[in-house]
Amino acid sequence: MKLCVFALSLAFNYALCNSHELHYVVGCFYNGTVDVIYEVDGDLALYADFQNNVIVFTVPPYIHFDTGSYPNIFRNALKAKKSCLVAQTIAKEILKDTETPEVQDPPESILYPTDEVETGVENHLICFVNRFYPPRVKVTWTKNNRPVSDAASTSPYMPNNDQTFHCFSTLTITPEQGDVYSCTVEHSALDTPITRIWDVDLKSHEDLALDLYCGGGLTVAFVGVAVGTFLIIKGRYRH
């Protein structure tokens, strides 16, 4: 049984310039998690970081928000969080005699860079964690087998249509040839953590040219073998 006290019940839709849609979402979950986020066209725009007491701005550049309203946004988020805590207490009391074991869904994850990779140029690695329930995961990072999680940030848990959740963990990197990065995801529905590996393997122009030359030569050789075989067969079975 998946239990959310009132995730999405405080969602409101606003039209932006008649072409974009804003969703204000308060997620209050039975396990104690509270998320307050804004979405633009289904993408995360900003969220309340209760640990650091700030609003984190992730809105696409073509949408303009009045940054002077951020203090009010955070105050409203704190009020929503307090309401969540009250609702959690009431719900647990009501459901304490009817609870069934919670259904859990293990996460999926993929790891990819945000931009084309160049050595010595700052980039970002994204560990996308999807389709998990309950909404609580732990994401850790390594570079060349050394922990670098302090340099990473993780978005709030965002709902999917099937009552599961997704989130993004982002690591800022300046890749160098031979670097190896990993993203490890832990969740209560997993028997063992999921680890994804991404390494920097950028060949020089000379190496690439050599590969193309060798590959082209090998292709010509295969074509020659194929044509020769065809002629031999044709000669053997012609009437």
Which residue type occupies 218? L
Reply yes or no on whether the pLDDT at 238 is more than 50: no
3-state SS assignment for residue 87? helix
Task: Label residue 129 by pLDDT band (50, 70, 90).
Answer: very high
Q: Could you tell me the two tokens for 227?
A: 């044509």
Angle at 27 between CA 72 and CA 140, to 5 degrees: 100
Task: Give the phi and the psi of residue 219 in degrees, each rounded to 5.
Answer: -65, -45
Q: Is the dihedral of CA 56, 62, 64, 67 positive or negative?
A: positive
CB 27 within 8 A of CB 7: yes
Q: Could you tell me the two tokens for 53?
A: 């007491």
Cα(216)–Cα(223) distance, integer angstroms = 11
Q: Is 166 exposed, middle or buried (0-12, 13-18, 19+ CB in 10 A)?
A: buried
| Domain spans of the chain, in order of start | 12-95, 108-199
Strand segments (E) across 29-149: 34-40, 43-49, 54-57, 108-113, 123-132, 138-143, 146-147
- The CATH class, in words, for 12-95 is alpha beta
The mean per-residue pLDDT over the stretch 151-170 comes to: 87
pLDDT of residue 156: 83
Superfamily of domain 108-199: Immunoglobulins (2.60.40.10)
pLDDT of residue 11: 42
CB 165 within 8 A of CB 157: yes
Task: Label residue 161 by pLDDT band (50, 70, 90).
Answer: confident
